[in-house]
């Protein structure tokens, strides 16, 4: 009969790893969105932090894990193909990305070119590839950062 210590150890390991990831992202150097070169964005799962260029305050924390374990487009797909591609829209022409929708509302710009232009002009992003970490660890790291930083555009867990 198991006393549950193996499960507790796994949870403790995941929390410890999430803390390392959170710390690593906070130490990563943010790059102005206008400087992002698509070939420099990692094609692995990971975590990212958008900040306002003007004051460095956190705007949005997110993760990307890919739809399958073999998916390796991760951060590249999220940042380059979704956040910074004007054509990444719903059929009704609204922004698909939570971050882009928040930018549209905040800046009162259109969800396509207007949002991408605003992001490139007003935000920087720090990225941390985490190719060996699963969804649960990345979720925990994201939750820790949202709780610690209170980014303007993250709404999950905030009273409305």
Model confidence over 48-71: pLDDT tens digits? 999 999 999 999 999 998 655 445
Each residue of 112-140: pLDDT tens digit?
999 999 999 999 999 999 988 988 999 99
The whole-model pTM stands at: 0.88
Is the pLDDT confidence value at 155 over 90? Answer: no
pLDDT at 99 over 90: yes
Is residue 117 exposed (0-12), middle (13-18) or buried (19+ Cβ within 10 Å)? middle
Q: Would you place residue 2 in the very low, low, confident or very high pLDDT band (cuts 50, 70, 90)?
A: low
CA 120 to chain centre: 16
Q: What residue spans define the domains of the chain? A: 5-149
């Amino acid at each position: 009969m198991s006393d549950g210590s193996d499960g507790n150890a796994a949870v403790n390991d995941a929390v410890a790893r999430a803390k390392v990831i959170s710390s690593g992202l906070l130490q990563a150097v943010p790059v102005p969105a206008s400087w992002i070169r698509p070939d420099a964005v990692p094609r692995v799962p990971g975590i990212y932090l958008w900040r306002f260029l003007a004051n460095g305050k956190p705007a949005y924390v997110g993760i990307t894990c890919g739809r399958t374990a073999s998916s390796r487009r991760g951060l590249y797909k999220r940042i380059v193909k979704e956040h910074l591609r004007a054509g990444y829209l719903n059929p009704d022409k609204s922004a698909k990305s939570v971050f882009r929708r928040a930018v549209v509302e905040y800046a009162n710009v259109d969800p396509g070119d207007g949002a991408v232009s605003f992001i490139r002009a007003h935000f920087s992003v720090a990225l941390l590839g985490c190719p060996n970490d699963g969804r649960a660890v990345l979720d925990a790291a994201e939750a820790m950062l949202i709780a610690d930083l209170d980014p303007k555009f993250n709404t999950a867990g905030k009273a409305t």
